[in-house]
């Protein structure tokens, strides 16, 4: 399992395949809706202050993968986050959660873009 944040995409490695997931309004809405709703504001806020909730990230990642057509549960994702040797697993968890969170955070407008609107 892996995750790489690219612009408004996150690439999640699962089952030997890479899944490039585009972060859109529809994706955010799906993540925050039933079943298994996740409050992304709270999740990202907690992550930013160093209090990441692994189960919430497992739900987010599982939903992202399901939207991309993968048959996976949050429990399977959670188990994969702990599957590797302890040191490797800790680094993997941090990397995956960081990249997923970074992809979900809206990017600030560039100063040049703001100046053009004036």
Taking the whole predicted model, whether its pTM rises above 0.85 is answered as no
Say yes or no to pLDDT of 27 above 70.
yes
Determine the pLDDT at residue 118.
Answer: 56
Give the start-to-end residue ranges of the domains of the chain.
Answer: 2-107
- Which 8-state DSSP code applies to residue 10? E
- pLDDT tens for 57-71 read 889 999 999 999 999
- Where do the H-state alpha helices sit in 1-118? 25-32, 40-48, 54-67, 74-81, 86-104, 111-117
Decide which of 64 and 115 is more confident: 64
pLDDT confidence tier of residue 74, bands split at 50, 70 and 90: very high
Distance separating alpha carbons of residues 56 and 64, to the nearest angstrom = 12
User: Taking the CA of residue 31 as centre, how many other CA atoms within 13 Å lie in the half-sphere pointing to its CB?
Assistant: 28
Say yes or no to pLDDT of 46 above 70.
yes
Decide which of 61 and 106 is more confident: 61
Determine the pLDDT at residue 26.
Answer: 86
């Amino acid at each position: 399992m892996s995750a790489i944040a690219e612009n408004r995409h996150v690439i999640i490695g699962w089952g030997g395949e890479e899944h490039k997931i585009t972060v859109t309004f529809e994706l955010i809405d799906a993540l925050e809706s039933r079943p298994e709703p996740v409050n992304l504001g709270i999740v990202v806020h907690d992550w930013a202050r160093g209090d990441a909730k692994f189960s919430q990230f497992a739900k987010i990642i599982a939903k992202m993968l399901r939207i991309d057509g993968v048959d996976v549960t949050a429990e399977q994702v959670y188990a994969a986050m702990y599957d590797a040797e302890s040191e490797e697993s800790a680094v993997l968890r941090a990397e995956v959660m960081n990249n997923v969170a970074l992809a979900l955070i809206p990017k600030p407008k560039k100063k040049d873009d703001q100046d053009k609107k004036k």
